[in-house]
Structure 1
């Protein structure tokens, strides 16, 4: 039995898929980016007069993507601490990894309790974002707390 989750306070999916799907006590989040849920804008993106992307702020996008992951976890009845595995996609590993890694440490200060993590450098994402996260959490349906 699986349950699809659509989070009202997360950005709308860019395709036909749920924000997350629960399978037993596991929660699988679809790829989540930094788009603003209210405006659909991308924090930190700078465009020229013709609308071409000319710069972005990986710190702003990292904070935004973490907020969006938290929104999906909240809608699923899960907590930040329930994350067990995170796959990170960065479009510029050389430039962005040090900033991203420092912000990760702010959100997960204790490596012993942080989720497992894999970070991949890729050439592009489906929208003009610099970071996307794919997450798995453990989230019992009847937590009791």
Structure 2
């Protein structure tokens, strides 16, 4: 089975891709950021008139992106506890890793999937964090 899944709860994709794709009993999520569905506002981000980041709160963005991942998983028939691999992209490792890591520990206290965290120069929208996840599904 190879099914593309479009979530009704997750932020609209910024390109031509599904929120997730099911292959067998695995669910591969596309990159998920902190944006909110149906809104141009980004939780924890203040933009200037040109759409450039003026200020951001990494804690707010972390919670929002984790909630978005949870919504996609649940809508797809999986769950937070079924995450097996998480890749995290941060745009400022030096400034944000400590806060992100503490919030991550709260969210992943019981389920501890494999994890990779990398710093990237930028992401497709003015955000500071994005997750790429793999989960199991029945």
Could you tell me the TM-score, scaled by structure 2's length?
A: 0.95
Q: Could you tell me which residue of structure 2 aligns to residue 101 of structure 1?
A: 101
Unaligned 5+ segments in structure 1 are 141-145
**TM-score, length-scaled by structure 1:** 0.91
Matched pairs, number: 138
RMSD over aligned CA atoms reads: 1.2
Pairwise CA distance, 1:62: 0.3
**Separation in 1 of the partners of 2:120 and 2:135?**
24
Aligned-pair CA distance for 1:52: 3.2
**Moved segments of 4+, more than 2 Å:** 47-52
Verify: 1:83 aligned to 2:83, yes or no: yes
Distance of aligned partners of 1:91 and 1:45 in 2 relative to their CA distance in 1, 3 Å threshold: same
Is 1:15 the counterpart of 2:15 in the alignment? yes
- Higher-Rg member (1/2): 1
Q: Distance in 2 between matches of 1:49 and 1:124?
A: 19
Equivalences for residues 1-145 of structure 1 within 5 A: 1-48=1-48, 51-110=51-110, 113-140=111-138
Which structure 2 segments of 5+ residues have no match?
Answer: none
